[in-house]
A and B are shown apart, each in its own frame.
Chain A
Amino acid sequence: GAGVSQSPRYKVAKRGQDVALRCDPISGHVSLFWYQQALGQGPEFLTYFQNEAQLDKSGLPSDRFFAERPEGSVSTLKIQRTQQEDSAVYLCASSLEQTQNTEAFFGQGTRLTVV
């Protein structure tokens, strides 16, 4: 596709519900990242995939957060038993190569509101 696509754009969840956020990266991009952006803050790293391998999940805030990219393209970020502090914009980004000098392209994000 033309860019990174995320769905849904907006999600309202009741506290305790499970949610799944989808990311379609740019076709052919090897690297995929998830970030969390709280209101008024910069994006915070959650996790990184190189193809289907999750190489870094050091930013996941708790074991309620889980991400997968089973076929090396589409990725899903799942949050179990959502809490109010999970309310944020979740950004997905992809880059063509795994080299660290390559810029990442971001999707529009999914705004999650937990009520």
Chain B
Amino acid sequence: AQSVAQPEDQVNVAEGNPLTVKCTYSVSGNPYLFWYVQYPNRGLQFLLKYITGDNLVKGSYGFEAEFNKSQTSFHLKKPSALVSDSALYFCAVRDPYTGGGNKLTFGTGTQLKVEL
């Protein structure tokens, strides 16, 4: 079975500082990995995905994520945080090889708070 862990319920960072939101996953084969962001009273918005190829993927709003197979991690990063980045971030995994179908399995979310 596929699963995702986001070990931090909340991450606080000062504006202008780099940010990292952690994600680890568990699948039987090679994973497809996604990051989504959720603003209050809004739906989930797609940020970026890793399917294959370069381990560093770049996405919307200056975010990037690094796939690390040996550590089964897919941490979300941004070099310089903005107050407007404050939101709830979800990591998700899809296992295409073991009959998991098309469903995404989400983590429990990490609340990012960027302060002036």
Binding site for B on A (CB under 8 A): 4, 31, 33, 35, 40-45, 48, 50, 55-56, 58-59, 91, 93, 98, 100-101, 103-109
Contacts and interface: CB of A to CB of B under 8 A. Distances in A.
Given A101-B32, A104-B46, A106-B44, A42 B109 contact: yes
Interface in B1-36: 4, 32, 34, 36
B106 interface: yes
Contacts of B36: 106
Nearest to A3: B43
A101 B49 contact: yes
Interface centre among B4, B34, B46, B104 (most CB of A within 10 A): B104
Contacts of A40: 108-109
A100 B41 CA distance: 27
B36, B92, B103: residue with the most chain A Cβ atoms closer than 10 Å: B103
Contact of A106 (B45, B94, B96): B45
Nearest to B95: A100
Contact of B43 (A33, A101, A108): A108
Contacts of A4: 43
B51 A101 contact: yes
Interface residues on B, range: 20 to 34
A14 B101 CA distance: 35
A43 B90 contact: yes
A110 to B, nearest CB: 11
Contacts of A50: 102
A44 to B, nearest CB: 8
B43 A59 contact: no
A58 B101 CA distance: 10
Given A4-B43, A43-B90, A105-B46, A56 B106 contact: no
A59 B103 contact: yes
From A4, A33, A48, A103, name the one whose CB has the most chain B CB atoms within 10 angstroms: A103
A33 B32 contact: no
Given A33-B103, A41-B108, 20 more contacts: A33-B104, A40-B108, A40-B109, A42-B4, A43-B44, A43-B90, A43-B104, A48-B103, A50-B102, A55-B102, A56-B101, A58-B103, A100-B102, A101-B32, A101-B49, A103-B46, A106-B36, A106-B45, A108-B43, A109-B43
